[in-house]
A and B are shown apart, each in its own frame.
Chain A
Amino acid sequence: MTIPMTLQDKANLTQERVLVLEAGRAERHYWRDLWTYRELFAILAWRDLAVRYKQTVIGVAWAVIRPTLTMLIFTVLFSRLAKLPSDGHAPYPVMVFAGMLPWFLFSTILSEASDSLVSNSNLIGKVYFPRLIVPSATIVVALVDFAITFVLLLVMMAWYGFLPDWRIAFLPFFVLLAILASLGPALYITALNVKYRDFRYVIPFILQFGLYVSPVGFSSAVVPQKWQMLYSLNPAVGVIEGFRWCLLRGQSQLYLPGFCLSLGVAGAFMGLGIWYFRKTERTFADLL
């Protein structure tokens, strides 16, 4: 016994924006909603930051100690023991640090965003907002950590008397690339994580594996030429090479075909991540 809607009814309803909820209805206003909820994005990012840096000393110390120790270990391991070459004249520790910078950005986003939906399950079950906000908000925390590490790198470069040149102007582009390359897989994993709770155990494994597979502790130039293309399938390779290119005064070569491949892979992951996230988003509240 549905009441048939007359044209007049329809006209009345459309005077104000009418929200229609139906099964399987793709939300037409999704991207606009995302924009409407930008304040929520800001406040969630701010919350994560506030909680992380509530104990300022520990928060900052963590962002300083982790990369410093990793840099020391890698320098000893790969330069002193394995006697691997650096990129051109760049000091080895600086080269390692320049590669670690994007790697930590990449890994922080991947691990934080992957866990974000489950750790915010209380919100998802109780209020509506475009769920994409939750994993995206973790980028901000990762960027603040990144900024601290970046300052550390600049200090180190000044110490070695090896300061970056004009190429540093391209850095924002590569930062964006690092975000895209990590957010794509993160969206996919966080959505999977809602359904299959044991999926989160895969993340530390990916990250540990990735740290050695990606050219973090060594230069990608040590990889034989014929494997370069295959190596570039790892999106982190393109990001790290890009960072070294713009921070190390061009001492590190950017292998363009490989870089484009990395870019393509990152883009594909992003597309896949958003697609899967949007597809499963509607069921999140029922599963969490």
Chain B
Amino acid sequence: MRTYYEMTDNVVIRVQGLSKKYVIGHQAERERYTTLRDVIAHKMKSLARPAADFVRKGATVAGGESEEFWALKNVMFEVKRGEVVGIIGRNGAGKSTLLKILSRITEPSGGRVEIKGRVASLLEVGTGFHPELTGRENIYLNGAILGMTRAEIRRKFDEIVEFAEVERFLDTPVKRYSSGMYVRLAFAVAAHVDPEILIVDEVLAVGDAEFQKKCLGKMKEAAAGQGRTVLFVSHNMSAVSTLCHRGIVLHRGRLHFDGLVEDALARYLGLRERCSARASAVDLTKPSILHVEVDEGEACNGNLKIEVEFASPWPLEPLLIGAVVYNRLGAPVFGLNTWQNGCEVPPRVRHGKATLHLRDISIHSGVYSVSVFLGEKDTNHDILENAAFFDFVSPEPLPLGLNPDTVGAMRADGRWQFEIIG
């Protein structure tokens, strides 16, 4: 009993039965806001419709106008002080909605959240940056937006500037910054916010690799050294696995798994859906990927067969399709596109299916994911990230105790030679 109390005393976030519902209007699928004009026109129509139905002796169709969508459904978990929790899930699983509720940006439709302590959320890098203002001014602006007091910013100012490496450009408007400098400055401010609870969404997805590493280090230090609670969302699985010790997997708005991060990653990859129809409705105003399928049977035999169906409102000239295969941690392993290997692309296609065959790929057995790109000439029109996951079985299994995470995904053929010296 005693330990139970001690444990609950340390709980800083308690989420109970949390749900969030969005109502998707079919009228305005792409736009969330409406115009008064539309509302008036719509009201008139719906007034007229029952009458029209009555005349036609049909049943009145109700509820065809909008559809409910549960971004989160009955999610429940607790986070203790000092825990670093990775929240993983595919696009649309509800990760961002969860973070938005915890950061008080949007309110839940059901359930309850209790939060103890000051929360800062980084849902975006450089929130509120104004291009006309100088670097110095933006540090103060962004800091205040992230919840720092002026005294706090002044105290950390030099540290922020040093971290961002922008000393020379402090009094230059940020609109003249290179994109790298801009991101570095934004990161630097964000990295110096120190609340009791830090909520981070995918911010490491931008910036160059070296700077990302620096930020990751900074976050690690904050979590370990200062006992800060961190909720971290990322698609970068290696970042999640190095930073977090606990993982929460969300799947279609529900809590799918909660436990050690290694297990969570495995469960997440176990959620693979061999074929992936698009989650959202396909926008056929631009070229789109309709369907991606990986042949599981082939993958079990050391081969790979990826089928991509696509459609475009105009004939694609020349068509460009690419596929990149990622390992369990989200690092790319290899990629191919239709411009390589002397591939002959049919001219002016609007709708078609492309199948990529790969024989005897030299990768180790494991779970991989594939992202598919659709483009034309030198522009990318559509990207379907993590379009499909597959279990690859190599004809030459790794010796026991070794796995692709430790020795890498590539299977190399080599010969050892020995020379006995003593």
Interface residues of A (CB under 8 A from B): 1-3, 8-9, 12-13, 16-25, 39-40, 43, 47, 50-51, 54, 122-129, 194-199, 282-283, 285-288
Count of B residues near A, CB < 8 Å?
Answer: 51
- The reply to whether B109 and A23 contact each other, CB–CB distance below 8 Å, is yes
- The reply to whether A13 and B114 contact each other, CB–CB distance below 8 Å, is yes
Residue B123 at the chain A interface, CB threshold 8 Å: yes
Q: Hey, which chain B residues are within 8 Å of A194, CB to CB?
A: 33
Would you give the shortest CB distance from A277 to chain B, in whole angstroms? 15
Q: Hey, which chain A residues are within 8 Å of B107, CB to CB?
A: 21-25, 282
- The reply to whether A43 and B141 contact each other, CB–CB distance below 8 Å, is yes
Would you give the shortest CB distance from B8 to chain A, in whole angstroms? 5
- The reply to whether B140 and A43 contact each other, CB–CB distance below 8 Å, is yes
- Which residues of B134-185 have CB atoms within 8 Å of chain A's CB atoms? 137, 140-141, 144-147, 149-150
- The reply to whether B141 and A197 contact each other, CB–CB distance below 8 Å, is no
Q: Hey, which chain A residues are within 8 Å of B111, CB to CB?
A: 22-23
- The reply to whether B140 and A12 contact each other, CB–CB distance below 8 Å, is no
Contact of B35 among A12, A21, A197 (CB under 8 A): A197
Contact of B150 among A2, A23, A39, A196 (CB under 8 A): A39
Q: A9-B8, A198-B37 are in contact. Are A127 and B146 (CB under 8 A)?
A: yes
- The reply to whether B32 and A8 contact each other, CB–CB distance below 8 Å, is no
The 3 closest A-B pairs by CB, nearest first: A128-B104, A196-B36, A21-B113
Would you give the shortest CB distance from B369 to chain A, in whole angstroms? 28
Q: How many CB-defined contacts (below 8 Å) exist between A and B?
A: 131
- The reply to whether B103 and A127 contact each other, CB–CB distance below 8 Å, is yes
Chain A to chain B contacts (Cβ below 8 Å), 20 pairs: A9-B5, A13-B116, A17-B116, A20-B115, A21-B101, A21-B104, A21-B113, A40-B144, A43-B140, A43-B144, A43-B145, A47-B141, A122-B124, A123-B145, A127-B105, A128-B103, A128-B105, A285-B106, A286-B22, A286-B32
- The reply to whether B133 and A47 contact each other, CB–CB distance below 8 Å, is yes
**B151 to A, closest residue via Cβ:** A39
- The reply to whether A285 and B100 contact each other, CB–CB distance below 8 Å, is yes
Having A39-B149, A285-B105, A287-B33, one finds 17 other A-B pairs with CB under 8 Å, namely: A8-B5, A21-B108, A23-B107, A23-B110, A23-B111, A39-B144, A40-B144, A47-B133, A126-B121, A126-B124, A196-B33, A196-B39, A197-B33, A198-B37, A199-B36, A282-B107, A288-B32
- The reply to whether A21 and B33 contact each other, CB–CB distance below 8 Å, is no
* Alpha-carbon distance between A109 and B9 when the two chains are bound, in angstroms: 48
* Alpha-carbon distance between A17 and B114 when the two chains are bound, in angstroms: 10
Residue B259 at the chain A interface, CB threshold 8 Å: no
Would you give the shortest CB distance from A210 to chain B, in whole angstroms? 20
- The reply to whether B123 and A196 contact each other, CB–CB distance below 8 Å, is no
**B196 to A, closest residue via Cβ:** A16
- The reply to whether A198 and B113 contact each other, CB–CB distance below 8 Å, is no
* Alpha-carbon distance between A8 and B6 when the two chains are bound, in angstroms: 10
- The reply to whether B116 and A126 contact each other, CB–CB distance below 8 Å, is no
Q: Hey, which chain A residues are within 8 Å of B132, CB to CB?
A: 50-51, 54
Q: Hey, which chain A residues are within 8 Å of B36, CB to CB?
A: 196, 198-199
Q: Hey, which chain A residues are within 8 Å of B16, CB to CB?
A: 2-3
Q: Hey, which chain A residues are within 8 Å of B124, CB to CB?
A: 122, 126
Q: Hey, which chain B residues are within 8 Å of A54, CB to CB?
A: 132-133
Q: A51-B132, A126-B127 are in contact. Are A22 and B115 (CB under 8 A)?
A: no
- The reply to whether B121 and A127 contact each other, CB–CB distance below 8 Å, is yes
Write the B256-288 contact mask toward A (1 if CB under 8 angstroms, else 0). 000000000000000000000000000000000
Write the B11-51 contact mask toward A (1 if CB under 8 angstroms, else 0). 10000110000100000000011111101000000000000
* Alpha-carbon distance between A123 and B101 when the two chains are bound, in angstroms: 15
Q: Hey, which chain B residues are within 8 Å of A127, CB to CB?
A: 103, 105, 121, 123, 127-128, 145-147
Q: Hey, which chain B residues are within 8 Å of A198, CB to CB?
A: 35-37
* Alpha-carbon distance between A8 and B104 when the two chains are bound, in angstroms: 27
**B149 to A, closest residue via Cβ:** A39
**A124 to B, closest residue via Cβ:** B105
Residue B216 at the chain A interface, CB threshold 8 Å: no
Q: Hey, which chain A residues are within 8 Å of B104, CB to CB?
A: 19, 21, 128
Q: Hey, which chain A residues are within 8 Å of B32, CB to CB?
A: 286-288
Q: Hey, which chain B residues are within 8 Å of A16, CB to CB?
A: 116-117
Q: A126-B127, A198-B36, A285-B106 are in contact. Are A18 and B145 (CB under 8 A)?
A: no
* Alpha-carbon distance between A198 and B33 when the two chains are bound, in angstroms: 10
* Alpha-carbon distance between A122 and B132 when the two chains are bound, in angstroms: 16
* Alpha-carbon distance between A201 and B119 when the two chains are bound, in angstroms: 38
* Alpha-carbon distance between A51 and B124 when the two chains are bound, in angstroms: 22
Q: Hey, which chain A residues are within 8 Å of B101, CB to CB?
A: 21
Would you give the shortest CB distance from A240 to chain B, in whole angstroms? 30
- The reply to whether A195 and B8 contact each other, CB–CB distance below 8 Å, is no
Residue B130 at the chain A interface, CB threshold 8 Å: yes
